[in-house]
Structure 1
Amino acid sequence: MPVTEGTVPHLGHRTWYRIVGTRRPGAKPPLLVVNGGPGCPHDYLDDLAALAQETGRALVFYDQLGCGRSDHPDDPALWTLDTFVAELAAVREALGLDPVHLLGHSWGSQLALEYAFTRPHGLLSLVLAGPIASAPAYQAETRRLKETLPEDVRAVLDRHEAAGTTDDPEYDEATMAFYARWLCRLDPWPAHVMRAFTNISRDVYETLWGGTEWQLTGTLRDWEVTGRLGEIDVPVLLTSGRHDVATPDLVRPLAEGIPDATWTLFERSAHLPSAEEPERYRQVVGAFLADVEARAPTVARAA
């Protein structure tokens, strides 16, 4: 499949993008992929690229400002929810993605929701992967999951958190025990997943989210949109893993609160079913996009 790369200007900086597949008049609408983090490059979602060949539509990936191949400005004031919602809109406008489907994973699902609340023209559907609707509820769940780790692992985590030495390699090793259970259960992790995970921009992550998955000290620690889910007026596919850090208890409010939502649970996956069960994941997403377009055939045409 043809691949096109480039950059989009945003707030005086450059946001890098990659288009997999061919865009032409009358083609199926593209799928714009919004990755998680915050501060994580898109690489871990590369398994989705095969959807371009399998569904005959272009896929558009981008690295959010501050991570990956995009500019890394040294300006903490940029790391706000508004910056990244506006960036999503800027990528879409610059590339002429109208109409478009939007897939957001993890933090990217928060961005996708916030963007959808603005009721943008030409948005056909949302795929929300490993989503949440409440940061406080997420913190409570991850703290519960942490308590199920082996006692010796918890002791290391607790000791370093109490001492303020969470930059110690011993702490990182203990944290990996959490991620191996609820982020990605593959052993070893695929190279593209490891590449993204080891290149996360800590300044962006810590400003917005916090120190760990169970210590939300960033500016998003009180983020909550459960009461607004009824505003979503496009079809929505929710996806998550049986062993996901976004537990079924966190996804259920979205399934119940969004008017036109379906939910697929991947039994053999944690937070990354696109990498853990890639063929089935693409089949589920592809079928959803096709169904949306079949329901609105006169709207679902790429410019």
Structure 2
Amino acid sequence: MAVTEGTVPFRGFHTWYQAVGGSPGRGGKPPLLVVNGGPGCPHDYLQDLALLAEGGGRTVVFYDQFGCGRSAHQDAPALWVMDTFVDEIAAVRETLGLDPVHLYGHSFGTQVALEYMLGKPTGVASLVLAGPLSSAPLYQEEARRLKATLPAEVQETLDRHEAAGTVDDEEYVGATMAYYRRFLCRTDPWPHHLVRSLAQVREDVYATMWGSEWNITGNLKDWDVTDRLGELDVPVLVTSGRYDVTTPAVVRPIVEGIPGAEWVLFEKSAHLPSIEEPEHYRQVVAGFLSEVEAD
């Protein structure tokens, strides 16, 4: 498959992108624009979605969000707010001519995609929300419940280092892996592209906007758009895993709040069915996109 890379001007800096399957905005099926999770995490872990471009006719566009990966890095805490990442979607779409487009968000990317869609942009054919959340407080409540299912010694290690502010300690990092291997990705070993993404996370961006999985202290701690989900008026596919950090309690209000939303639960997956059940996952997403285009 053809792969092109380049940069998009953004706020005096640049956002790096990669288009798989041909040049975007050149006809054919509407491209799929992928907004990955984070914040502060590059897109690499979602590269299995590139195979949605197989067979021709559709381009899959990835980008590294501003401040991480191959995009411009800046020490600018004032920019680590939701509006920055919402505006970035608009900049990528405009520069690459992504109109119409299917929009795909994963995890934090679903938060950005929801905010973007609530701004009523034109030319969005559909929305895929993967491992989504519409309420940070609800996510935190469920994350703390999941944490409480870990072995007592793991919980003690996490609590002790968080209280001491020593979250960079190797013991703490090791304890968090017990959580992630249950609720982020259950594949063993983890694939290289997931390891590569996590190794490049901008911890300062993540801390400013989020905090920790179960202790949200950043500027998104009160973020909640659940009451506005009824404003969405495009076809929506929601996906999540049986063992997902975005538990059914987190996902269900989204499905119930969006008119006509379809929900597919992947029984063998945690937060990354695109890695854990890749062929089945791509079949579901491809089928949804084709149905939208057939209407």
Q: TM-score, normalised by structure 2?
A: 0.98
Q: Which residues of 2 match residues 52-201 of structure 1 at below 5 A?
A: 52-54=53-55, 56-201=57-202
State how far apart, in whole Å, the 2-side matches of 1:54 and 1:251 are: 32
Q: Which moved more, 1:161-170 or 1:216-225?
A: 161-170
Considering Cα pairs closer than 8 Å and 6+ residues apart, tell me whether 1 or 2 has the greater RCO.
1
How many residue pairs get matched? 294
Q: State the match for 1:300 in structure 2.
A: none
* Alpha carbons 2:40, 2:202 under 8 Å: kept: yes
Amino acid at match of 1:255: V
1:261 aligns with 2:269: no
Alpha-carbon contact 1:55-1:286 (below 8 Å) kept? no
On the 8 A contact 1:130/1:241 being kept in 2, the answer is yes
Kindly provide the CA deviation profile for residues 62-115 of structure 1, in whole angstroms up to 9, marking residues without a partner as x.
Answer: 000011000101111111100000011000000000000000000000111001
* RMSD of aligned residue pairs (Cα, Å): 0.9
Counterpart amino acid of residue 87 in structure 1: E
Aligned residue number for residue 216 of structure 1: 216
Q: Which residue of 1 aligns with 2:244?
A: 244
When residues 40 and 165 of structure 1 are mapped into structure 2, their CA distance, relative to the original with a 3 A threshold, is: same
The answer to whether the Cα contact below 8 Å between 2:21 and 2:56 also exists between their aligned partners in 1 is no
Shift of the 25–90 alpha-carbon distance from structure 1 to 2, 3 Å rule, reads closer
Deviation at 1:56, TM superposition (A): 3.1
SS at match of 1:184: coil
Distance of 2:7 and 2:91 partners within structure 1: 11
Partner amino acid, structure 2, of 1:204: V
Residues 63 and 25 (structure 1 numbering): CA distance in 2 closer, same or farther, change over 3 Å?
Answer: closer
1:298 aligned residue: none
Matched residues in 2 for 1:280 and 1:140: separation?
Answer: 30
User: What is the CA deviation profile of residues 16-62 of structure 1, one whole-angstrom value per residue up to 9, with x for unaligned ones?
Assistant: 00000124744000000000000000000000000001463000000
Tell me the secondary structure at the aligned position of residue 7 of structure 1. Answer: strand
Separation in structure 1 between the aligned mates of residue 27 and residue 79 of structure 2, nearest angstrom: 37
CA displacement 1:116-153 (0-9 Å, x = unmatched) = 01111110100000001100000000000000000111
CA contact (8 A) 1:130 1:271 kept: yes
| Structure 1 segments unaligned to the other structure (5+ residues) | 296-303
Name structure 2 gaps, 5 residues minimum.
Answer: none
Work out the percentage of aligned pairs sharing the same amino acid: 67
- Please say if residues 103 and 129 of structure 1, whose CA atoms lie closer than 8 Å, have aligned partners that are also in contact: yes
Structure 1 segments, 4+ long, off by >3 Å, are 23-26
Over residues 149-180 of structure 1, what are the superposed CA-to-partner deviations in whole Å (9 max), with x where a residue is unaligned? 00111111111112221111100000000000
Find the residue that maps to 1:221 and give its secondary structure. Answer: coil
Contact 2:21 2:58 in 1 (8 A): yes
TM-score when normalising by structure 1 = 0.96
SS for the counterpart of 1:32 is strand
Contact 1:233–1:260 (8 Å) recurs in 2: no
CA deviation vs aligned residue, 1:167-210 (integer Å, no higher than 9, x gap): 11100000000000000001110000010011101111111111
